[in-house]
Amino acid sequence: MKKFIILFLAIGLLACSSDDPTVSENELRYDGVNANSPLFPSGSHEAAARFPSFITNDLIGKGIRSIEIFVYNVPQSFSFNVYSGGSAAGPGAQIFSEEVSSQMIANSANLITFDNPIPINGEIWLSASWSQKDTEQVIGCDAGPANPNGDWLYLSSDSDEWTSFRDRSAESVNWNIRGILTDL
């Protein structure tokens, strides 16, 4: 009976942990279903999900085939980005960027498939960057709770500093950013 209780508690702790990303053989993400989108001031912004190497090490031999991002309003310009490496201070080298404004659909999950999958070789950051003329909602988010790596944000007024959305607003959400994986 004691072993059963310990097993039950261990399973319960794993199931209730909000810090565990959703990683499968087909998807890399922290978010749940879209719930909302914060208002951002005019300017240039970038929202990202960070996947440290302790998460991606098990994914070596796979690649990111596409990125899915929920967009509320299509801004003046919009790009998908992938960074390799980095730390809690910000992403490493940009290894992919594609301007996709003309392909975005408002109030929808938008999927961009790459011509060649991007190999996973350690820490990866998946992001959306955009510029907007007015205050508006652009990138979607879930209802939380936030994963420590699911809500990174850079604003043009930040002078090269990445900060979690939670630290800026006390809102506990994850960006609706997902990497769809494939075998290489």
pLDDT band at 22 (very low <50, low <70, confident <90, very high): low
Residue 119 and residue 84: Cα distance in Å, rounded?
10
From CA 3, how far away is CA 30, in angstroms rounded? 32
- Measure the CA–CA gap between 56 and 12, rounded to whole angstroms: 24
**88-127 residue pLDDT tens:** 999 999 999 999 999 999 999 999 999 999 999 999 999 9
Q: Which residue has the higher pLDDT, 126 or 16?
A: 126
User: What are the domain boundaries of the chain?
Assistant: 25-183
Give the fold, CATH level 3, of 25-183.
Jelly Rolls (2.60.120)
pTM, 2 dp:
0.86
